[in-house]
C-alpha cells in the first residue's frame, strides 16, 4: 500500500494547488498530472480492494466496486454539524413499539443505555437509507470561502470580493452584495432578537435580518438582507480572517486577524471594546457557546475565553492549548486551517486530516451524546472548504458546501425511487474514534495528556479510498 499512500499524498497536494490564485510553471505541471494519478490510484485500489472496503456502500451491487474505485481521499474534514433527526424510520426488531403518531415506546425493563442504543441504531438505519440531490449555485468567479444559512436564504462569501444571497428553494441568486475591496473570508448571522435591536436603531422593519462579512480589506460590513444595503462598515486595521457574533448582554462582534489578534466590537454602537494579542499566527476559527468563546489559530493553538456582558473588556482568557496538545500543528504544510466546534464540555478539532480530535473543557453545560452515524460523499465534487446546515419545515436536512463550487445538498423523501447523487456509507475508522482524547485534570497545575486516549493514527495510516468531498455526521 506504499504506492497508494504516495499517490494519495500527491493528489492532496494537487488539491491544495488548485485553490491558489496563481501557479508557477512547475505547479501547473503537477496539476496536469491529476487525471493520470487518479487513474493509477484507481487501478491499485482495485487490486487491494477487499470485502471490508465495500461494506456499507449504498446502491446496486454492480455499482459498488465502481464507486469505491472512483473515490479519492479528502484532506479537509469539516467541523461536524449537530444533527437533529426530525423524521426517523423505527426498526421493528429492536425491542421498541411505534404508536400511530410515529413515537417510539420502549419496554419498561429497558435500561437507559439500551434505549440509547436502540435509538442510535434506528437513526443509523435511517441515515443509511437516506438519499440526497445536489444542486449547484452558479455566480461566484473564485473560490467560495464561507457560507451561512438564514431561513430559506444562503449567504456565501468568496475570494472574488463579493457576498451573494441565494434563494435555496429556487436555487437562484437573489442579491449580489458588492463593497469589499478584498476577498471575503468569513460570515456570521446574528440571532433575530439582536437583529431587531439594530433594525430599530437604523429605522428598519423589526423583521429585518442582518449578516456580517469580514474581508482581507480590513473591514467588517453589516448587511441588511431585505435590501442588500450595507448599513455599517467597521475598519479593523487588520486583515479579518474570522469573525463570530456573541449573543451575550447587548451583543458583541469578535474578529480574528491574520496576525493573531482578537478584537471585540459593540453590537449596538459598533465601537471597539477590546483588542488582545491572542495567538502567534492567523486566527482561523472563532466559535461561541453560551458565555464561552473558543478561538483557534494556524499554528494549532486553541484558546478558551469567558465572555462578560458588562465591563470594559468583555473577554477573559481561561485556558490555552498548544499545538503539542491539539495535534494540529501547521508546520508540515499539509494540515491546512484548524477548525473547531464546541459541544458541551468537549471541543471537536480537525485540521485537514481524516481524523477528529476531542479536547475536554470543564463547564456547567451538559454534553449531548456524540456518536458517529454515516459519511456522505459524491465522487464528482471538489474539496469542501466551508458548509452550513439546517432543517427544512418538513424535517428534511439541507446542507450547502463551498469550495470551487457552491452546492446545495437536499435530502429526498423516503419514497423517492431513483438513486440519489450522494453515496451514504460507514467509515470504519470512525466507528469508535469519537472518544475523549484529552482530559483536563482537576489540579490546575497538571498537564493535559494527549497520548493515551487520542486518535493516534499516523496520517499515512488514516488515508482511505474515499471521495474528495466529505460531510461527517455526528449525532447530538
Q: Where in the chain is the domain with CATH 2.130.10.10?
A: 138-383+412-470
In this prediction, the residues of the chain whose per-residue pLDDT falls under 70 are: 1, 19, 21, 48-110, 329-337, 344, 352-356, 361-370, 429-476
Residue 7: its pLDDT value, please?
83
Residue 86: its pLDDT value, please?
40
- CA 423, 429, 432: angle at the middle one, nearest 5? 115
- Burial class of 319 by CB neighbour count within 10 A (0 to 12, 13 to 18, 19+): middle
Residue 340: its pLDDT value, please?
78
Q: Do residues 382 and 469 lie in contact, with contact meaning Cβ atoms separated by under 8 Å?
A: yes
Residue (of 326, 383, 367) closest to 349 by Cα position: 326
Q: What is the CATH number of domain 138-383+412-470?
A: 2.130.10.10
Residue (of 467, 469, 463, 381) closest to 4 by Cα position: 463
**Sheet containing strand 261-266, strands side by side:** 240-246, 252-257, 261-266, 272-277
Which residues are within 8 A (CB) of 446 and not within 5 positions of it... i.e. 6 or more apart? none
Cell numbers 489578534 correspond to 261
Residue 355: its pLDDT value, please?
62
Distance CA 411, CA 126 (A): 12
Q: Share the mean pLDDT of the chain.
A: 75
Amino acid at each position: 500500500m506504499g504506492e497508494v499512500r504516495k499517490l494519495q499524498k500527491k493528489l492532496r497536494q494537487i488539491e491544495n494547488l488548485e485553490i491558489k490564485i496563481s501557479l508557477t510553471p512547475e505547479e501547473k505541471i503537477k496539476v496536469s498530472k491529476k487525471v493520470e494519478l487518479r487513474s493509477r490510484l484507481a487501478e491499485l485500489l482495485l487490486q487491494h480492494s477487499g470485502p471490508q472496503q465495500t461494506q456499507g456502500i449504498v446502491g446496486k451491487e454492480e455499482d459498488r466496486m465502481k464507486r469505491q474505485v472512483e473515490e479519492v481521499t479528502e484532506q479537509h474534514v469539516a467541523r461536524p454539524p449537530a444533527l437533529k433527526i426530525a423524521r426517523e424510520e423505527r426498526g421493528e426488531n429492536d425491542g421498541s413499539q411505534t404508536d400511530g403518531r410515529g413515537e417510539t415506546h420502549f419496554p419498561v425493563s429497558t435500561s437507559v443505555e439500551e434505549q440509547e442504543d436502540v435509538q442510535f441504531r434506528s437513526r443509523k438505519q435511517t441515515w443509511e437509507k437516506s438519499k440526497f440531490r445536489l444542486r449547484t449555485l452558479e455566480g461566484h468567479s473564485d473560490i467560495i470561502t464561507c457560507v451561512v444559512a438564514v431561513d430559506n436564504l444562503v449567504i456565501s462569501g468568496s475570494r472574488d470580493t463579493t457576498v451573494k444571497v441565494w434563494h435555496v428553494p429556487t436555487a437562484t441568486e437573489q442579491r449580489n452584495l458588492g463593497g469589499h475591496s478584498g476577498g471575503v473570508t468569513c460570515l456570521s448571522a446574528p440571532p433575530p432578537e439582536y437583529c431587531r435591536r439594530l433594525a430599530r436603531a437604523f429605522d428598519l422593519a423589526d423583521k429585518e435580518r442582518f449578516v456580517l462579512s469580514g474581508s482581507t480589506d480590513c473591514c467588517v460590513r453589516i448587511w441588511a438582507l431585505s435590501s442588500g444595503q450595507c448599513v455599517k462598515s467597521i475598519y479593523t486595521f487588520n486583515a479579518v480572517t474570522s469573525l463570530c457574533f456573541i449573543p451575550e448582554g447587548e451583543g458583541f462582534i469578535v474578529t480574528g486577524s491574520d496576525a493573531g489578534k482578537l478584537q471585540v466590537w459593540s453590537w449596538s454602537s459598533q465601537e471597539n471594546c477590546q483588542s488582545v494579542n491572542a495567538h502567534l499566527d492567523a486566527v482561523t476559527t472563532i466559535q461561541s457557546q453560551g458565555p464561552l468563546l473558543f478561538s483557534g489559530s494556524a499554528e494549532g493553538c486553541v484558546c478558551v475565553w469567558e465572555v462578560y456582558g458588562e465591563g470594559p473588556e468583555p473577554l477573559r482568557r481561561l485556558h490555552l492549548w498548544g499545538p503539542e496538545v491539539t495535534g494540529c500543528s501547521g508546520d508540515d504544510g499539509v494540515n491546512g486551517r484548524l477548525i473547531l466546534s464546541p459541544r458541551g464540555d468537549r471541543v471537536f478539532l480537525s485540521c485537514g486530516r481524516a481524523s477528529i480530535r476531542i479536547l475536554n473543557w470543564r463547564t456547567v453545560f451538559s454534553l449531548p451524546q456524540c456518536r458517529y452515524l454515516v459519511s456522505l460523499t459524491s465522487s464528482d465534487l471538489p474539496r469542501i472548504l466551508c458548509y452550513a446546515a439546517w432543517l427544512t419545515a418538513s424535517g428534511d436536512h439541507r446542507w450547502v458546501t463551498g469550495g470551487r463550487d457552491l452546492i446545495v445538498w437536499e435530502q429526498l423523501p423516503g419514497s423517492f425511487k431513483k438513486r440519489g447523487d450522494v453515496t451514504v456509507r460507514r467509515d470504519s475508522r470512525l466507528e469508535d474514534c469519537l472518544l475523549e482524547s484529552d482530559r483536563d485534570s482537576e489540579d490546575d497545575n497538571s498537564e493535559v495528556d494527549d497520548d493515551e486516549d487520542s486518535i493516534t493514527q499516523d496520517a499515512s495510516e488514516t488515508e482511505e479510498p474515499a471521495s474528495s468531498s466529505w460531510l461527517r455526521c455526528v449525532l447530538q
